[in-house]
Structure 1
Amino acid sequence: MPKSQVRKKKVYTPPTDVRPAANANSKKPSPVWLPVSAVTLIVLGIGWLVVYYLSEQQYPVEAWRYWNLAVGFGAMVASLAILARWR
């Protein structure tokens, strides 16, 4: 019985108008302040919440009552927004 021919597939090369530019991947690295400020916001947010609970809701600002939770969690969410820009 004769042996069948092996077909070689052509190597796919995308068209030049679709191919990404070589310079598009060379983005600048993030500035040093970006991760530092994100970590600072995380620590401040957690610290705010810990002080709020351990002081039996008298500190950091007693008049804000449960808005102190929004401040603590807001600082942590802001740090996530900053970290989303980190390269």
Structure 2
Amino acid sequence: MPKSQVRKKKVYTPPSDVSPAVKGASNKPSPTWLPVTAVTLIVVGIGWLVVYYLSDAQQYPVGSWGYWNLAVGFGCMVSSLGLLSRWR
């Protein structure tokens, strides 16, 4: 039985007009304040919600805000997620 020919694969060369990394973007590590601030916001948000739920008649931390205290607590936690998405 005759043997089939072995085909040589072409070497891949990426196109020159498309670069894999955005020019001008730095690959520097994140500043130290970023994770510290994000963790602080998480702790403050959870603390705010715990104090709100455990206070008598929900008068603390700010009684006149009512259910907006929930928005403050969850807002702190969501903003920390936004910061953590920038962490390298």
Task: State the TM-score, normalizing by the size of structure 1.
Answer: 0.89
Task: Please give the per-residue CA displacement for 1:12-63, whole angstroms capped at 9, x wherever unaligned.
Answer: 1112222336x76751110000000000000000000000000131100000
How big is the alpha-carbon RMSD for the aligned residues of Structure 1 and Structure 2? 1.9
The letter for the 1-side match of 2:66 is R
Count of matched residue positions in the alignment of Structure 1 and Structure 2: 87
Gaps of 5+ in 1: none
Give the corresponding residue for 1:6: 6
> Is 1:68 matched up with 2:69?
yes
The letter for the 2-side match of 1:46 is I
Gaps of 5+ in 2: none
The letter for the 1-side match of 2:80 is S
Distance 1:24 1:49 in 2: 42
Distance 2:68 2:83 in 1: 22
Query: After TM superposition, where is structure 1 displaced by more than 4 Å over at least 4 residues in a row?
Result: 23-26
